[in-house]
Amino acid sequence: MSAARFASLAPGLAFIALVLAFLEVAVDRNWVKAVLIPAPSDTAVVLWNIIWSGAFADPVGDTLGLLFAGYGIACVLGVVLGVLMGYFRGVYNLLEPLAEVLRTIPKPVLLPPLMLFLGLGFPMKIFIVALAGVFPVLINTMQAVRSIDPVLIDTARTFGRGTGAILWRVMLPASAPLILAGMRVSLGFALVLVILSEMLAGSGGLGQLLSDMQKTFLVRETFAWLTIIAVVGFALTAMFDWIERRIAFWSRSAVE
């Protein structure tokens, strides 16, 4: 880490430390009850044990497995349908009304009927995660494909490229920055639905664990696992940033 980067991060990190220190004091002085909010130091001990014993691995693995499966389906489906809807008028006319209706439904309300219909297992969870994640990708991809400058397409045509090559080698890369922006939104949606579906239809994963802890008043454990979820979310975002910088590096520089 460069000195400049550290200097820009330092105030924010110091502020978090300050908040934690204040919480520590507040619990110590009994301003808040430790059974409701544990002292950060107590949470840290529990967290340390969870990490040291390796107990975090299975729930995190379950949650990430569900996330990647559902989110992966959402991304692939969103890009494929988005490109087709953006490029072919007929496909757009066929699918747009349905997409418009489905996209506006808050996805959590679909959980109860889906649990009846698909049961409590993995397929139901993958379905709801994919459904929550697909629309931002789909809409952004469609918009991106439609806003590509015709000169770019004509250029490829004058070099003798057919529809397949134009879709794959021109439209997809040209749309990549907007597609990635959609995927970033989707990642947030998908993570919410992963945790929520685990809470409601638990069979492993961080969501079920958290809801169990809360029901049995294991407050320190609850906060320790919350921290783990926060770290997982942070790591996913950081990974996404890293990928985005490598794929869409040209988009800001290319716009004059």
Partner 1 sequence: MSAPPNSAARLRIDTVAKTFGGKAGPVEALRSVTLDVAAGEFLAVVGPSGCGKSTLLQIVAGLMPASSGRVVLDATAVTAPPADVVYLFQQYSKSLFPWLTVEANVMFGLRQRAANGDARARCRHYLDMVGLAGFAAHYPWQLSGGMQQRVAIARALAAEPRALLMDEPFSSVDALTRLDLQALILDLWTKNRLTVMLVTHDVDEAVFLADRVAVLTPRPGVISEIVETGLPRPRDAVVTREDPRFLKVRHHLLEKLLARPDDVRR
- Tell me which of 106, 149, 164, 242 binds partner 1, using CB under 8 A: 149
Q: Taking a C-beta distance cutoff of 8 angstroms, is the pair 134, 74 a contact?
A: yes
Of 134, 109, 74, which is closest to residue 200 (Cα–Cα)? 109
Q: Taking a C-beta distance cutoff of 8 angstroms, is the pair 194, 72 a contact?
A: no
Residue recorded with tokens 């439904």: 105
250 touches partner 1 (CB under 8 A): yes
In the chain, the largest separation of any two C-alpha atoms, in whole Å, equals: 76
Task: Return the residues of window 107-146 that contact partner 1 according to CB under 8 A.
Answer: none
- Tell me which of 42, 44, 68, 157 binds partner 1, using CB under 8 A: 157
158 touches partner 1 (CB under 8 A): yes
Instruction: Report the Cα 20 to chain-centroid distance in Å.
Output: 26
What is the CA angle 10-11-12, rounded to 5?
95
Q: Which one of 70-78, 115-123, 169-177, 230-238 is the stretch in contact with partner 1 (CB under 8 A)?
A: 169-177
256 touches partner 1 (CB under 8 A): yes
- Tell me which of 58, 100, 154, 241 binds partner 1, using CB under 8 A: 154
152 touches partner 1 (CB under 8 A): yes
- Tell me which of 34, 167, 170, 226 binds partner 1, using CB under 8 A: 170
Q: In this structure, what is the dihedral angle of CA atoms 126, 122, 61, 226, given to the nearest 10 degrees? A: 80
Residue recorded with tokens 């629309």: 135
DSSP-derived letter for residue 36 is T
Shortest Å distance, C-beta 72 to partner 1: 23
Q: Which one of 9-17, 109-117, 122-130, 151-159 is the stretch in contact with partner 1 (CB under 8 A)?
A: 151-159
16 touches partner 1 (CB under 8 A): no
Shortest Å distance, C-beta 113 to partner 1: 43
184 touches partner 1 (CB under 8 A): no
204 Ramachandran zone, left/alpha/beta (phi>0; psi -120 to 50): left
Backbone angles phi, psi at 54, to 5 degrees: 80, 10
Q: Can you give the binding site for partner 1, defined by CB under 8 A?
A: 149, 151-152, 154-160, 170, 173-174, 176, 250-251, 253-254, 256
